[in-house]
Amino acid sequence: MAVRVQRQIPPFDTTAFLARIGQGRTIVEYRANQVVFSQGDPADAIFYVQKGKVKLTVVSKSGKEAVLAIVSANGFFGEACLTAQPVRMASAVAFTGSSIVRIAKNAMVRILKQDAAFSEAFTAFLLSRITRAEEDLVDQLFNSSEKRLARVLLLLANVGKEGRAEPVIPRISQETLAEMIGTTRPRVNFFLNKFRKLGFIKYNGRLEVHTSLPTEALFGNGTGNPILGQRSDRPPRVKSLLGEAPYVLPDRTTRNFGVSVTA
């Protein structure tokens, strides 16, 4: 049986990184809901979030908008400019007040060539994002919407990150949760009520995710009783499934809940 070894991402020194870039970088302060770039704009720079959060969205030809992710502090976005992508495939908007570093494509290419330590850290960051995308796809293809919602809640709570649960974004709506897991808001509401009755979450204006949720939500309860969908015969992969995610989910305007974590 293949054993998956997770390599720790090297420490990232933001101050030293920005100092080494020199020319080609600009630090900009964005207020909440201010556009960083729009879908269709030229892809000529990569961005690094020093403080705050950035929402990434895409709009279809029919006008339907989908929320791709929220990039938190110490995360990159717009990295597709390093490929042959000439224009932005998504839009980026400051989700909260944010301090964002814009790094010109040429400057980023130069620092990647000159600084082996940073190149390694950036590569590890990209690989972790690819891994997360693959796990999201597997989750979408094989898990019920109930399990997908449970996984989203765990990811929001950072459960599985070296065994610690951490607070996440302050408010998120049922509409957004529904969009992210591919179901309807009434179904999300139904499952949240079910999770609350089972003692996995609490919400009364604020949503609290309990650390008792992971095993039940992702792998069944070990007895065949389908508390959260059908029991899975897959071996537990909590860390690989819930490992560090540069993306968390965004907020909407409908039925918002604050999110915190309790043991």
Q: Where do the domains of the chain lie, and which CATH numbers do they carry?
A: 14-121 (2.60.120.10), 144-262 (1.10.10.10)
Cβ-based neighbour number of residue 169 at 10 Å: 17
Give the pLDDT of residue 8.
53
Whether 219 and 236 have beta carbons less than 8 Å apart is answered as: yes
Whether 241 and 160 have beta carbons less than 8 Å apart is answered as: yes
Give the HSE-up count for residue 177: Cα atoms under 13 Å, Cβ half-sphere: 30
Q: At what angle do helices 116-142 and 145-156 cross, to 10 degrees?
A: 150
* Residue range 149-191, pLDDT digits in tens: 988 888 777 665 544 555 444 567 788 788 778 888 999 999 9
- Would you place residue 93 in the very low, low, confident or very high pLDDT band (cuts 50, 70, 90)? very high
* Residue range 192-202, pLDDT digits in tens: 999 888 888 87
pLDDT at 137 over 70: yes
* Residue range 204-248, pLDDT digits in tens: 667 788 766 654 444 444 433 445 554 343 433 333 333 333 333
Give the pLDDT of residue 28.
94
Calpha distance 126→86 (Å, rounded)? 20
Cβ-based neighbour number of residue 238 at 10 Å: 15
- Would you place residue 90 in the very low, low, confident or very high pLDDT band (cuts 50, 70, 90)? very high
Task: Provide the edge-to-edge strand list for the sheet that holds 35-37.
Answer: 35-37, 91-94, 54-59, 65-71, 247-248
Calpha distance 255→8 (Å, rounded)? 37
> Mean pLDDT highest for which of 28-42, 56-70, 173-187, 196-210?
28-42
pTM for the model: 0.67
Whether 24 and 81 have beta carbons less than 8 Å apart is answered as: no
Calpha distance 235→219 (Å, rounded)? 8
Give the pLDDT of residue 189.
92
